[in-house]
Structure 1
Amino acid sequence: MAIHRAERLSGDYYLFPGVTARALRRYQAFLQHPGRRPLYPQDARCSCRGCSFDDVRHARDVLEEVLLKLPFRSRAELKHRIASMDVIYLYRTLPDPFADRRQWRADLWWRRRLTTGGEAM
C-alpha cells in the first residue's frame, strides 16, 4: 500500500503506478541469466519511461527512488528484498575503473559496473 502511495504521489517522471513491480521484475530477470559468466548491463536506446528499462541500472535507480519515498517499515521490507539481488549484481558484474568519466551518476555503486552497447553475458 505504501509503495502504491509513493508511486502515485511522486512528481518524478520515472515514478508512476506499478513502476516498482516493473523495476523488481527487470532487475530479477537480468540476474537470472544462467551460468557464472559476468553480466554487462546495456545502455537504453531511449530515455522514455518504457525504453529506459532496457538498462537494468535504470530499474535499480527507480528502486532507490522509491526507497527514499517510503515510510520506515515499508522501506525496510523493500530494502531487504533488493539487498539479496544487489549481492548477485555485485557478484555477476565487473567494476568499471573509469566509471567516473563514463557515467552521469557515478556516485551510485550500481552504475560503477562495466557495460556493453547491448546486454550480454
Structure 2
Amino acid sequence: MENLSGDYDVYPGATDRALRRYRAFLGPAGRRPLYPQDAECSCRGCSFDDVRHARDVLAEVLRQLPFRARAELKRQVACLDAVYIERTLPDPFAGDRQWRSDRWWRRRLAGGREAG
C-alpha cells in the first residue's frame, strides 16, 4: 500500500516509522503530562520529530488500507490514542495555533521540548 500511495508522507516504511515514533513518545513511564515538540525541519524524514506528524501519517494510512488490514492497525492506534489523551493536555487555543486543528491529536498542548 505504501508503494502505491500518492501521499507525500506515505512512503515505504512510513507506517512502521510512525508507529515506532508514536510508541516512543508515549513510552516513558510516569504520570506527568507529555508535550509534543514541533519539528525543526519540514522534510518528510524530520517531520517525524513531531509526534503529531506521526499520528497524521497513521491517519492517512488508515484511510488508505483495505478493511482487514485497517482493522488490525486501527486497534493498535486506538490503544496508543488512549494513552496520548491521558498523557497530554487539551489546548483551548489550538484553533488559533494549529494548522490542522480539525485533528483531535493536534488540539493538545505542545511545548518546545518533549518532556514531562
Please report the TM-score for the alignment, with normalisation by the length of structure 2.
Answer: 0.98
Identity %: 72
Q: Which runs of 5+ in 2 are unaligned?
A: none
Q: Which whole-Å CA distance do the structure 1 matches of 2:6 and 2:42 have between them?
A: 17
Runs of 4+ in 1 over 4 A off after TM superposition: none
More helix by share: 1
Match of 2:92 in 1: 97
Q: Which whole-Å CA distance do the structure 2 matches of 1:78 and 1:85 have between them?
A: 11
Q: Deviations over 1:22-77 (max 9, x none)?
A: 00000000001121000000000011011100000000000000000011111111
Q: Which whole-Å CA distance do the structure 2 matches of 1:15 and 1:71 have between them?
A: 15
Aligned residues: 116
| CA root-mean-square deviation | 0.6
Equivalent position to 1:109, from 77, 98, 104: 104
Q: Which runs of 5+ in 1 are unaligned?
A: 1-5
Q: Deviations over 1:52-103 (max 9, x none)?
A: 0000000000000000001111111100010000000000000000000000
